[in-house]
């Protein structure tokens, strides 16, 4: 593979190198085994957008694991498990639809929001204990059935 080297000021052969790099994630340094491209002649770093986003994704993922924050895919899975739209789950959790949409697009949930999500996933009665049903006019079509079902079956679910 060849790419432009800013130091040699010409196209050079480039090679991959593994290197510890530290990325700031939510203001905290996260060190990962990054994949970088360097010029095979002078060793200068060659910026590569695809590798850069891979490294960033790795740092985000490591941060999530360290903090016990659910993965992007998990968030969508939790929502779909209950047959909810983004608007529906946002109403139940007391968030704005933009918030859940951001989280599903890869933004890292805040620690309290993460706890809400985990409890929502694991503890069915939490839903009926803590969420106020929205006003009828704001009620997403998927909601009433879910409220009835979960209000009726908490004990049964705990035994499973
Ligand atoms: Zn070079």
- CATH topology for 13-67 is Ubiquitin-like (UB roll) (3.10.20)
Question: From CA 68, how far away is CA 118, in angstroms rounded?
Answer: 10
Ligand 1 centroid to Cα of residue 145, in Å, is: 64
CA 122 from centroid of its chain's CA atoms: 18
> For helices 143-152 and 86-93, what crossing angle results, to 10°?
50
User: What pLDDT is stored for residue 118 in this prediction?
Assistant: 86
Strands, sheet with 10-25, edge to edge from the N-terminal-most edge strand: 2-5, 10-25, 28-39, 45-46
pLDDT band at 149 (very low <50, low <70, confident <90, very high): very low
CATH C-level class of 72-152 = mainly alpha
- Mean pLDDT, the chain, rounded, equals 82
* Range 135-150 average pLDDT: 43
CB 54 within 8 A of CB 34: no
Given a cut of 80, whether residue 156 has pLDDT beyond it is: no
Domain spans in the chain, listed from the N-terminal domain onward: 13-67, 72-152
Span from the CA of 2 to the centroid of ligand 1 (angstroms): 11
pLDDT (tens digit per residue) in 44-89: 999 999 999 999 999 999 999 998 999 889 999 989 988 889 998 9
Total-model pTM: 0.65
| Centre of ligand 1 from the C-alpha of residue 12, in Å | 6
Q: Kindly give the distance from the C-alpha atom of residue 23 to the centroid of ligand 1, in angstroms, as a whole number.
A: 24
Q: Place 19 in a pLDDT band, splitting at 50, 70 and 90.
A: very high
3-state secondary structure (DSSP) of residue 30: strand
């Amino acid at each position: 593979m060849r790419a432009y080297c800013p130091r040699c000021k010409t196209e050079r052969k480039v090679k991959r190198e593994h290197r510890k790099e530290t990325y700031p994630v939510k203001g905290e340094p996260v060190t990962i085994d990054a994949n970088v491209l360097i010029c095979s002649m002078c060793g200068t770093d060659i910026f590569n957008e695809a590798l850069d986003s891979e490294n960033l994704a790795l740092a985000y993922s490591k941060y999530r694991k360290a903090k016990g924050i659910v993965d992007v895919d998990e968030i969508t899975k939790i929502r779909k498990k209950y047959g909810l739209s983004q608007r529906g789950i946002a109403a139940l959790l007391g968030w704005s639809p933009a918030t859940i949409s951001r989280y599903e697009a890869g933004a890292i949930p805040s620690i309290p929001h993460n706890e809400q999500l985990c409890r929502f996933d694991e503890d069915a009665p939490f839903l009926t204990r803590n969420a106020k049903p929205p006003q009828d006019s704001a009620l997403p079509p998927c909601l009433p059935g879910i409220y009835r079902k979960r209000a009726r079956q908490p004990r049964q679910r705990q035994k499973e």
